[in-house]
Amino acid sequence: MPLPDLNVPAGCRHLWVAISGGVDSVVLLHWATQNSRALAARGIALKAIHVNHQLSAQSDIWQQHVMRLCTDWSVPLWVKRVNVLVRSESLEQAARKARYEAFEAELAAGDILMLGHHQEDQAETFLLRLMRGAGVQGLAAMPSTRALAQAQLWRPFLNTSKHTILSYAAAHALQWVNDESNSDTRFDRNLLRHQVLPVLHQRWPHAAHKISQAAGHALEAQVLLDEYAAADFAQLDVRTEKFGCSLCVHRLQLLSLSRQKQAVRYWLRGLGHLAPEAKHLDELQKVLAAKSDSVPALWVADYGFRRFAHRLYLLPCALTAPNGTTIEWLGEALSLPDGSRLQIIGCQAPLSIRFRVGGERAKPQGRGHSQVLKKLLQEYGVPPWLRYQVPLIYRAEDLIAVGDYWLEAGASKGVAVSWYYPSITGDE
C-alpha cells in the first residue's frame, strides 16, 4: 500500500516537518520533498524542525544526521535544544511538553506542523488511554489535525501502517537513527509496542487497523457529544470574571449528571485546560451541593473550581494573599504580586498600593459614614478569594480607591482605576 497523497490543509503558508531522525519522521520529510514542486506552485514553503532533548548520549549524533539529511534534500532546518525538567509528570510527559513548547515558540499563524504518527502509534495511544480508564474523548486517541497555538498540527500518516512506512524507506534507501530508549519496556508505550501489540497481531493480523478504526468511531461519538455540550453550555449564562470565569449553578444542575459532566469538560477544553479525571468530576458534585453559605473549592492541576453566590467559578490558579505588602506607584501601569495589572489615571504620583490585613474602614463616594472594608466588599459582591487581593490605593495615609470597585469620598474628580488580569482578559 503506498503512502497517501500530500493533501495539505487549506490556508497553509509554511509546511513544517518535525524530524527526530527516526524512520517515521525521515520518511515524512522525504515524502514531503517529493512533493516540493507542487508545494512551491501553491506558494507553500517547506521547512523542518528538530528538537534536541539532550537526554541521550546520542542526541548530538542524531542532530548531525538530521542536519545532513536536510542539507542533502535542500530543506531549511531549525534546531531547538531544550532542557527537559521533570516535575510531577513522567520523563516521557516532560519531554513531550518541552518538545511542544519548542514547536509553539517557532510556528506562526498560517503554519502547519506535520508529525509522523502512524496507525500503530494510534493503536498504542488508544490502548494507553484504555488502561487509564478514559472515556470517549480519550479513546478517540490522536486527531489527524488540531490547533497548535497560532499554528496547526497535522498527522498525514495516521491511517498508514508501519509496514508501509518501512517499505517506503527501503525502496528509497533512506537512512535513519534508532533511539535506544524505544526498546526500554519500562515505558508503557514501549511495552505495548514490543510485547502487547505483537501478541494481538498474531491472533488478529489487522489489530492495529481495527483499533485505529475504533478510535475513529470514538472520535465521531465525541463530535456528537460536543454538539450537545455546546447547546447545553450556551444556556449556562457563562461570564468572564475579574479572575477566571463563571456559570450559573442552578442552570447547570437542571441538566442530568452526565450532561453536567460533559458541559464542564467542554468548558475546560474551550479554555485550553486538560479534561479532569472522573474522580474530580465526582468531587465537583460536592462543590455544587455544598451549603449556600459556604464557599467550597476543588483544585485540579493548574485550575480550580469555587462556588459563590449561586455561581460556579473556574479559576486558573489559587491566589496567595499579599498581606503586608506595600508597592509604590510612580505613574505607570503596575504589575501586582498575583499577576494582575493596575492602571490609575487622573492622579499624580506618588501613591502606595496596599492590601487587606483586616480591620480597615472605607467610605465610598456618596456614603454618609465609613464602614468596615470587609462588609463593603461583601456588599459589592466581591468573591471571598479576591477580598485580600484587592489593591487599596493610598495617598499618604488617605485611602482614595478600592481596586476599581469604588472611589473613596474625597477622591479627586476624574480619577479612574482599572484592575484586571491580562492572562484572562487578553489585555496587555
Q: For 281-313, how does the pLDDT look when each residue is reduced to its tens digit (9 = 90+)?
A: 999 999 999 887 788 889 887 789 999 999 999
Give the number of other CB atoms < 10 A from CB of residue 46: 20
Question: Are the beta carbons of 407 and 365 closer than 8 angstroms?
Answer: yes
pLDDT at 26: 97
pTM, to two decimals: 0.77
Q: What is the pLDDT averaged over residues 10-31?
A: 95
- Helices 207-233 & 257-270 angle (0-180, nearest 10): 90
Q: How far is CA 3 from the centre of its chain?
A: 32
Mean pLDDT score of the chain: 91
> Residue 270 contacts by C-beta under 8 Å, 6 or more apart in sequence?
none
pLDDT at 423: 58
pLDDT at 88: 67
Q: What is the pLDDT averaged over residues 132-159?
A: 93
Residue with cell 505588602: 325
Distances from the Cα of 47 to the Cα of 17, 44, 60, 72, 329, angstroms: 6, 10, 20, 13, 47
Residue with cell 474551550: 270
Q: What residues form DSSP beta bridges with 341?
A: 335, 420
Question: Are the beta carbons of 148 and 110 closer than 8 angstroms?
Answer: no
Whether residue 428 has pLDDT greater than 50? no
Give the number of other CB atoms < 10 A from CB of residue 404: 18
pLDDT band at residue 379, thresholds of 50, 70 and 90?
very high
Whether residue 425 has pLDDT greater than 60? no
164 compared with 93, residue with greater pLDDT: 164
Write out pLDDT tens, residues 105-132: 999 999 999 999 999 999 999 999 999 8
